A and B are shown apart, each in its own frame.
Chain A
């Protein structure tokens, strides 16, 4: 029988006003195993804690029950107290007689009776408590950033600055992400490339950063502090360490009719290509879908012109395994395909473009060298119509229910830039609401309306119809309550943004959670916005929800600081309340493995001693205590009763049930 001490707290009058604390400590002192029982005004105060420490020493207590406030409040405090007195911190149970008793009930007799029962249950449980030791697991001091856009770049730079090695895995041949395709940024109108490309160079030159471009994450194993990640380095048929990025191959390649994804297919590129002049790493990539040599074995011009000898047609995909302590998801977004919204005639006319395509048409490095020309006939558009909320805030099955957040601002920017460069154009913007929460955002929008004379019309466009080289736009002006018809030369759709397609697959690999729109979920929407609920996985940028560049950079820095905090530790303390399998009872049925959300249970063949000095090899479950989160799903799934949860064992909970139902 364990020697148990009971400590009843008054909590001033919070408990003592409705619970007769004297009666509680007196009644509980007669419970089996209780050798000491007392009450005190404030158990959590230093004097109260000293009482506990003294009693543990004087009475050689094996277990402590504290009847006080919720364990969510002071369990950690009291664990430290008993630990200081030399008792295992897990030999403590708390009976919640404040939040779940004295504050609920008005009648003193009833509340006292309930407090006694709750105390009894805690005593019954503590009898069965076993000393637990929190394990430690080492931390691999290297971080992985998945995605090399501005979010990934900023996170990697911040982690590297703190002195930890970082790897960036980017599926495209170059880092930079969507920001490389943007012309100017709101609300300051500074050029995106001018602020991004120096950061890309920083990433390339930083000794702590490795870039795995044209690569994908293939598999993730392990847990916080100790992830093992398989990365597929896709064959680019060019030796990355040999290529000088001179671009000669890209000029001589005879296959010139490949849609250029950097310009969203508005022009063509060669089969061997460098996405754009400032690409990092500046290395050519051969597009195997179009390369004549790779498809038919006849060509080989690029290898002939390459003076460095970097072309290698026999290159294969490579799989590499790397260990990481922390993983940051920065997979970003894509604009949705507006073809579903056929009322806007996106698939019928090349002059109906998305905002990102419009961005390329305005960009000096774009297909038109920065002159705004219609894609259909290369003429100057005179009338432009911008349609906002295409697919955003749309609860029909075609669209997205959320606000994409950035469209109001970039549409104002586009409209303003159009009027500035070409004062002879008429610019109309159709909106449901204009949302401009951000520093200098509303001022920016007002400038577009007041100084640049952009026509903002509240209402949605019903139909866009291509007729004789014009686009007939039919819309409703809600404020004037009239129908409007505009003959436009170009229509620009501010389409919704959605998380990158890789999010769902990646979330499964990382056991991180995503919401119904495939955005990664944060551990707490207010207080832990850059952490995923899965330990060791952090979120940066739009993969977590729509945001603009400054917000993305801020979140990237926040994620980096969380990673640095983790990598700074040599060891992580694990939760000791984890599942444990009794190998003698386990029959290796795999029921527990199937319900485990964390992959914490593995099977191994273990040797047992059989009768008459024989040996038996049996398959038994093994719980990795560093991975197990202690939910207990496996304990119920186990048909043989081999699986149990430390700290909340079957016997302990049964004892509580018995004490309550007595």
Chain B
């Protein structure tokens, strides 16, 4: 999928677990697949390291979408970390939805180290979705703007 809106390039933060999704992202690079440059990856040891605070911070600082990628359920390197992440994000995303950050701006996705193609496809789709939604103005803190 190509990003249609040439004007607007959303800022996307992707938190990727070191063991699965970060390796999956590396694999999509190794396979020379492409996804938009708006996606910037932050490496975390496990999806359960992602504090809801990080996501709030991203939106506060002007991110337009946040995606969290972890190991598939049952495959967590730390046995149960991704389950914690799933629960926390379910609650957080529902609260963000209430606050006016649309459901489609936030996502949890399971990508294994072997799923380079899935990583690229997920990012393409996510960027397209967020681009359609437009700029996030709801939680952005204008005081943070330089």
Interface residues of A (CB under 8 A from B): 70-72, 96, 98-101, 103-107, 110-111, 113-114, 117-118, 121, 511, 513, 533, 577, 595, 597, 629-633, 635-637, 645, 648, 650, 653-654, 656-658, 660-662
Q: Which of A104, A111, A650 contacts B35 (CB 8 A)?
A: A104
Contact A533 B79 (CB under 8 A): yes
Chain A residues with CB under 8 Å of B61's CB are 657-658, 661-662
Closest B residue to A661 by beta carbon equals: B61
Contact B42 A636 (CB under 8 A): no
Q: Which of B48, B57, B77, B146 contacts A636 (CB 8 A)?
A: B48
Chain B contacts with A in 1-47, Cβ cutoff 8 A: 11, 13, 18, 22-23, 25-30, 32-35, 37, 40-46
Contact A633 B46 (CB under 8 A): yes
Known contacts A110-B37, A633-B49; 13 additional CB pairs below 8 A are A103-B29, A104-B28, A113-B37, A117-B40, A121-B40, A633-B48, A636-B51, A636-B84, A645-B49, A657-B13, A657-B42, A658-B61, A660-B42
Chain A residues with CB under 8 Å of B37's CB are 101, 104-105, 107, 110-111, 113-114
Complex CA distance for A111 and B37, rounded to whole angstroms: 7
Contact A661 B63 (CB under 8 A): yes
Chain B residues with CB under 8 Å of A635's CB are 49, 51
Task: Jot down 13 A-B pairs with beta carbons below 8 A, ordered by A.
Answer: A70-B26, A98-B29, A99-B27, A101-B29, A103-B30, A121-B40, A631-B45, A633-B46, A653-B44, A653-B49, A653-B51, A657-B42, A662-B62
Interface residues of B (CB under 8 A from A): 11, 13, 18, 22-23, 25-30, 32-35, 37, 40-46, 48-54, 57-58, 61-63, 77-81, 84, 88, 120, 146
The secondary structure that dominates the B interface is mixed
Contact A648 B45 (CB under 8 A): yes
Chain B residues with CB under 8 Å of A632's CB are 44-46, 48-49, 81
A402 nearest CB across to chain B (Å)? 17
Complex CA distance for A662 and B78, rounded to whole angstroms: 33
Q: Which of A597, A630, A648, A661 contacts B62 (CB 8 A)?
A: A661
Contact B84 A633 (CB under 8 A): yes
Complex CA distance for A287 and B34, rounded to whole angstroms: 69
Complex CA distance for A99 and B34, rounded to whole angstroms: 11
Contact B13 A100 (CB under 8 A): no
Chain B residues with CB under 8 Å of A662's CB are 61-62, 146
Closest B residue to A113 by beta carbon equals: B37
Chain B residues with CB under 8 Å of A111's CB are 37
Q: Which of B26, B40, B46 contacts A631 (CB 8 A)?
A: B46
The secondary structure that dominates the A interface is helix
Contact B84 A660 (CB under 8 A): no
Q: A121-B40, A513-B79, A653-B54 are in contact. Are A661 and B13 (CB under 8 A)?
A: yes
Closest B residue to A94 by beta carbon equals: B43
Chain B residues with CB under 8 Å of A636's CB are 48-52, 84, 88
B110 nearest CB across to chain A (Å)? 16
Q: Which of A96, A597, A631, A648 contacts B41 (CB 8 A)?
A: A96
Most chain A beta-carbon contacts within 10 A, residue among B18, B28, B53, B78? B78
Chain B residues with CB under 8 Å of A98's CB are 29
Chain A residues with CB under 8 Å of B58's CB are 657, 660-661
Q: Which of A72, A103, A629 contacts B78 (CB 8 A)?
A: A629
Complex CA distance for A654 and B61, rounded to whole angstroms: 10
Q: Which of A71, A630, A661 contacts B45 (CB 8 A)?
A: A630
Complex CA distance for A118 and B84, rounded to whole angstroms: 28
Complex CA distance for A101 and B41, rounded to whole angstroms: 10
Chain B residues with CB under 8 Å of A107's CB are 37
Chain A residues with CB under 8 Å of B32's CB are 103-104
Closest B residue to A513 by beta carbon equals: B79
Chain A residues with CB under 8 Å of B44's CB are 632, 648, 653
Chain A residues with CB under 8 Å of B46's CB are 631-633
Contact B45 A577 (CB under 8 A): yes
Contact B49 A72 (CB under 8 A): no
Complex CA distance for A533 and B120, rounded to whole angstroms: 29
Closest A residue to B30 by beta carbon equals: A99
Contact B57 A654 (CB under 8 A): yes
B112 nearest CB across to chain A (Å)? 13
Complex CA distance for A533 and B78, rounded to whole angstroms: 9
A464 nearest CB across to chain B (Å)? 39
Closest A residue to B61 by beta carbon equals: A661
Chain B residues with CB under 8 Å of A577's CB are 45
Listed from nearest, the 10 A-B pairs whose CB atoms lie closest are A632-B49, A99-B29, A661-B61, A631-B78, A103-B29, A99-B26, A631-B46, A633-B48, A660-B40, A114-B37
Complex CA distance for A74 and B47, rounded to whole angstroms: 23
Chain B residues with CB under 8 Å of A648's CB are 44-45, 49
Q: A99-B30, A100-B29, A105-B34 are in contact. Are A650 and B45 (CB under 8 A)?
A: no
Chain B residues with CB under 8 Å of A100's CB are 25-26, 29, 41
Closest B residue to A118 by beta carbon equals: B40
Q: Which of B11, B33, B77, B78 contacts A104 (CB 8 A)?
A: B33
Contact A657 B45 (CB under 8 A): no
A656 nearest CB across to chain B (Å)? 5
Complex CA distance for A648 and B18, rounded to whole angstroms: 11
Q: A99-B26, A103-B29 are in contact. Are A650 and B51 (CB under 8 A)?
A: yes
B140 nearest CB across to chain A (Å)? 9
B52 nearest CB across to chain A (Å)? 7
Chain B residues with CB under 8 Å of A660's CB are 11, 13, 40, 42, 58, 63
Closest B residue to A516 by beta carbon equals: B74
Chain A residues with CB under 8 Å of B63's CB are 657, 660-661
B81 nearest CB across to chain A (Å)? 5
Chain B residues with CB under 8 Å of A101's CB are 29, 37
Contact B78 A71 (CB under 8 A): no
Chain A residues with CB under 8 Å of B34's CB are 104-106
A107 nearest CB across to chain B (Å)? 8
Q: A105-B34, A636-B51 are in contact. Are A121 and B80 (CB under 8 A)?
A: no
Chain B residues with CB under 8 Å of A72's CB are 18, 22-23, 26
Closest B residue to A653 by beta carbon equals: B54
Complex CA distance for A123 and B17, rounded to whole angstroms: 20
Chain A residues with CB under 8 Å of B11's CB are 660-661
Complex CA distance for A555 and B26, rounded to whole angstroms: 33
Chain B residues with CB under 8 Å of A106's CB are 34
Chain B residues with CB under 8 Å of A656's CB are 42
B12 nearest CB across to chain A (Å)? 9
Most chain B beta-carbon contacts within 10 A, residue among A96, A105, A635, A660? A660
Chain B residues with CB under 8 Å of A645's CB are 45, 49
Complex CA distance for A662 and B58, rounded to whole angstroms: 10
